[in-house]
Structure 1
């Protein structure tokens, strides 16, 4: 057996060497290895997305003055993503990087010298502005460039640098709404601005890009608790913003004077949904949930679709042509899935491997957006994320994770798992897990429970808690509206060395844990294979099996895993973990003793099979997990 394996490895080595000598023209083809004169296609592996808030990633300034300017608090640039930085991100176990906040959005800073109009602080959230109030989709945020006049070229260089370092990249597209003051000053030839051809005398027209409130002027929202720029003087702060007639606000408000809690900095885009909610466009025929993206593309080729559909499709194809490998779609469920079928199929025709991720929070709509909207992945927020958060808060046990996994068995591959992102409270914040250490078992479960991709938010891997009062943004979330530093991340960045040179011992150990975990997941075949819960049998039959322990098995033809986590930070757990007879039978194990190797830190365990049932002696410290490989 060893000789056969040795010859196979020698053959594999010769094959790889021969492939390396081939011309680069074959690089885009799917890799095939020759073993025993047979073609072997690699098994699909997990994907890991590393979300970076681009404006904050490279900022070394530690002042963190509330409402601070760029001069006071600093700002990160595209150029801060050096080869070294990107290699360190890739080495963490990352396959895709999501550059958040790249498209040019409204902000309070004077760039009139390069032809950009000033934005009114009364319709901008914070000073740095919301990345989801896009002002010009055909260019990028000038704050992010060393030379703002050459900002697009600097981002194009980052695209090339990202690819050179073996990573794929995503950017945001926000089809539901755009900035209140959208100005497409960089439109390609023939592309007209949003609203340029609208009939503004009516509330709704199928080919209008916006919804209107006829004969009413927009009024700036007011509040006793909020003043733009925290009361700082600015020539544009006068209680007025010129918009006539007023447009519907991004979250759907139909008031000429939106509430201060509405998305007042944005306007709603019209996709051919009438004000009564009915659809004013062709609908997909029955059975199209089973059709390929190519068949969806063919369906739309001869269809008359609303103007906004065409505009956003063209925006996506513009960035696809520049080498962007995919998109994260903000609030996708506020846009009809027929549009997504139209746009996503067009993207896939240009790049079949495009990574298309959508923010959807309604479980009843998941399958529509996956199968009809042709999304690759949706946020698994209201199921897995919310349950794990409830467990760590002591509101429930982890047992419900099994039901979630079983209910979503047909779509589990499409449900992206995360514990931290720009919208949510930081995993290490007191409002969530309380520390990076306490978040470890949640992360193990989140990354290994299903075949879905994993997402990590920059700073999560070093225990960033989001403690800063940045101004418009408040603590527990790293602000997306302000110029601010990210302290734990800055200690890893170490003034551009990206070596953790300023780390504390706990930060170093936490990042090492993430590196071990994520690199294991992107190499594991079992994590793309089958899932079976062993929670119920252990809950019922295993003594000393703690309320906050969760266990399950994952396997493929070549790899078998037993995963067990202690979600309690304060209680050590000791018990005999039972591997039920149906799993032992499926794995074709005979009575006897088998070696298990823990995949994060290499600790050996033993599986004893007797009368067709397995037992593993487990001793877990607080917040500890084992990934045991047979």
Structure 2
């Protein structure tokens, strides 16, 4: 025990040294006063599932059996409730027309082959037509684009911004642009398929080889084994194309992204670049300079196609994009496209799904991304802590490492790719993530995102077909039970929620509205965790503390990640912070901002300050001076 304690103290001393060595860096970046603009809170909603009131949930069920949500389900009442939750932006996931197993031939849409579609409702990341929307989502599929345009306008009327997906790395195996604007050619329409690579081909090819459907694993059968005229273990594609995740085999593995084909951005098969590169120093230039650089350059055809797609949707009133697997596409392309978007809408919201921390700064400064997923560092660390496998000592070094780009990192605890918090595979109980939610929403000025149903503890327990429990399926027609209880048959009033679910939603509503409106959360940051680990009795690695401040507000935030134990201690503010805050000797009453019940006293004496903190399990205090 003594040896472990010494090890912990040494570790914390090392963290302190790292923080001291980075003092100049931190002082100029993470602790600088951010823009006073409102903090962004993103509500990701899987559009197909949001308004579905059907509770059948038959595995592999059809749209008629299991139901489907529509654009029109986002009523004025629903949108007002989402805004009141504290949301500023809605990410409507699954809007572009992707491959689905349903007959829409009466609308001129070809049928999709179950052998190269995941699930019955289809993956939203196998886009079939970028200039149209998913026909499942419309009351009248013939008017589906008009119905989405009405949703954009309705969302804007409620003071909310609209985000949709763009998936630049891959498209569906059978891409058919039936709604292309004048002069726009389909992906692959002008390709030379006799060669593996050409700069202006949209795809990579495997000359002379036909595509073969992957060998199924684990007893998998398309549509759960249901008979379908196109489900024959074959799909006609000659020559075969590279698969979306980069597989160069004519018969990809079952775990490859076999339902998609990879888009060619002018990266040769050996990895070298067949396009101009940005000059040195462009990481310090704004989007106008990037736009000017590219406007007279000859770029690969795929670049032009995706730029046109993005500008089409900006023209429809979409306020920004979430880019799927952005790091699989060269950063120079992002400079080209994002600068063009910003020239049309300087306030456009551009979010990249990216998992390589070494590339973060390139995609922000060169690629002109506004925000990146903070997945592999903060999310993964918080998940370990929630599961009882990690230490809060690991949080401070993450923030130090991201000090210069913290405002660009989007924080989340759930999205469509991750396990639901309440699932047994994650935490088993949604309340266990409360401390992590407080930390994610307040630790820096970057956006916070929640996934629909997270606010009422949805566990993702359904065996939907292709999608399996712990994640709400994005491949199937399915209902979302906890969310449906809040939806209450379309009343959107939480009328069927349990007391625990209502309390959880109230917690998120309080937290998100506080995060959205607190000036200090756009200001400076200093963690006081490592100081208290070294100086405060009973303070431990199940709690975490930090301060945030601006000219008009000072906040002290402390949270207890332990689901079983309460902790009490005299939390200390270091002398340098007391000096920075200009605290005089005496006592100051603090107000707890999340619930308003606690009003502890901050005692300042001898250049130091301390406040008595008594945290219940999973409790957080956001204290305002």
Q: CA deviation at 1:394?
A: 2.1
Q: Counterparts of 1:434 and 1:445 in 2: how far apart (Å)?
A: 20
Matched positions, count: 590
Q: CA deviation at 1:283?
A: 0.2
Instruction: State the SS of the aligned residue for 2:147.
Output: helix
Q: Which residue of 1 aligns with 2:216?
A: 223
- Post-superposition Cα deviations, 1:96-127, rounded to whole Å, max 9, x if no partner, equal 00000000000100000000000000000000
- For structure 1, which segment, 407-416 or 394-403, has the greater mean C-alpha deviation from structure 2 after superposition? 394-403
Q: Which residue of 2 aligns with 1:522?
A: 516
Q: Which residue of 2 aligns with 1:13?
A: none
Contact 2:543–2:559, Cα closer than 8 Å, also in 1 = yes
Q: CA deviation at 1:605?
A: 1.4
Q: Counterparts of 2:541 and 2:527 in 1: how far apart (Å)?
A: 16
Matched, 1:604 2:589: no
Q: Which residue of 1 aligns with 2:31?
A: none
Q: CA deviation at 1:399?
A: 1.4
Matched, 1:129 2:122: yes
User: Which ranges of 4 or more aligned residues in structure 1 deviate by more than 3 Å?
Assistant: none
Matched, 1:508 2:502: yes
Q: CA deviation at 1:224?
A: 4.0
Q: CA deviation at 1:541?
A: 1.2
Instruction: State the SS of the aligned residue for 2:610.
Output: strand
Q: CA deviation at 1:361?
A: 0.2
- Post-superposition Cα deviations, 1:366-411, rounded to whole Å, max 9, x if no partner, equal 0000000000000000010000011112222111111100111100
- Which of 440, 446, 460 aligns to 1:446? It is 440
Q: CA deviation at 1:428?
A: 1.9
Q: Counterparts of 1:506 and 1:312 in 2: how far apart (Å)?
A: 45
Contact 2:326–2:352, Cα closer than 8 Å, also in 1 = yes
Instruction: State the SS of the aligned residue for 2:513.
Output: helix
Q: Which residue of 2 aligns with 1:371?
A: 365
Q: CA deviation at 1:45?
A: 2.3
- Post-superposition Cα deviations, 1:440-499, rounded to whole Å, max 9, x if no partner, equal 001001111111000010000001111111110000000000000101100000000000
- Which of 63, 73, 81 aligns to 1:70? It is 63
Instruction: State the SS of the aligned residue for 1:577.
Output: strand
Q: CA deviation at 1:427?
A: 1.7
Matched, 1:489 2:483: yes
Q: Which residue of 2 aligns with 1:27?
A: none
RMSD: 0.9
Q: Which residue of 2 aligns with 1:479?
A: 473
Instruction: State the SS of the aligned residue for 1:439.
Output: helix
Q: Counterparts of 1:508 and 1:117 in 2: how far apart (Å)?
A: 44
- Post-superposition Cα deviations, 1:62-114, rounded to whole Å, max 9, x if no partner, equal 11111111111100000000000000000000000000000000010000000
Q: Counterparts of 2:425 and 2:525 in 1: how far apart (Å)?
A: 31
Matched, 1:616 2:611: yes
Q: Which residue of 2 aligns with 1:344?
A: 338
- Post-superposition Cα deviations, 1:266-299, rounded to whole Å, max 9, x if no partner, equal 0000000000000000000000000000000000
Q: Counterparts of 1:509 and 1:394 in 2: how far apart (Å)?
A: 24
Q: Which residue of 2 aligns with 1:468?
A: 462
Q: Counterparts of 1:158 and 1:362 in 2: how far apart (Å)?
A: 35
Unaligned runs of at least 5 residues, structure 1: 1-40
Q: Counterparts of 1:251 and 1:42 in 2: how far apart (Å)?
A: 38
Q: Which residue of 1 aligns with 2:287?
A: 293
Q: Counterparts of 1:579 and 1:45 in 2: how far apart (Å)?
A: 28
Q: Which residue of 1 aligns with 2:195?
A: 202
TM-score (norm 2): 0.94
Matched, 1:248 2:281: no
Q: Which residue of 2 aligns with 1:61?
A: 54
Q: Which residue of 1 aligns with 2:21?
A: none
- Which of 412, 415, 438 aligns to 1:418? It is 412
Instruction: State the SS of the aligned residue for 2:600.
Output: strand
Q: Which residue of 2 aligns with 1:331?
A: 325
Instruction: State the SS of the aligned residue for 1:604.
Output: coil
Q: Counterparts of 2:354 and 2:171 in 1: how far apart (Å)?
A: 18
Q: Which residue of 1 aligns with 2:79?
A: 86
- Post-superposition Cα deviations, 1:169-205, rounded to whole Å, max 9, x if no partner, equal 1000000000001000100000000001101110000
Matched, 1:308 2:302: yes
Q: Counterparts of 2:568 and 2:217 in 1: how far apart (Å)?
A: 56
- Aligned pairs for 1:13-412 (under 5 A) are 43-225=36-218, 226-412=220-406
Instruction: State the SS of the aligned residue for 1:510.
Output: helix
Q: CA deviation at 1:42?
A: 8.4
Change (3 A) 1:284 1:105: same
Contact 2:217–2:254, Cα closer than 8 Å, also in 1 = no
Change (3 A) 1:623 1:496: same
Q: CA deviation at 1:546?
A: 2.9
- Post-superposition Cα deviations, 1:330-366, rounded to whole Å, max 9, x if no partner, equal 0000000000000000000000000000000000000
Contact 2:35–2:522, Cα closer than 8 Å, also in 1 = no
Instruction: State the SS of the aligned residue for 1:532.
Output: strand
Instruction: State the SS of the aligned residue for 1:518.
Output: helix
- Post-superposition Cα deviations, 1:540-561, rounded to whole Å, max 9, x if no partner, equal 1111113301001111111101
- Post-superposition Cα deviations, 1:571-592, rounded to whole Å, max 9, x if no partner, equal 1111111111111111000111
Instruction: State the SS of the aligned residue for 2:184.
Output: coil
Q: Counterparts of 1:450 and 1:431 in 2: how far apart (Å)?
A: 29
Q: Counterparts of 2:499 and 2:543 in 1: how far apart (Å)?
A: 27
Unaligned runs of at least 5 residues, structure 2: 1-33
Matched, 1:543 2:537: yes
- For structure 1, which segment, 530-539 or 81-90, has the greater mean C-alpha deviation from structure 2 after superposition? 530-539
Q: Counterparts of 2:47 and 2:64 in 1: how far apart (Å)?
A: 18
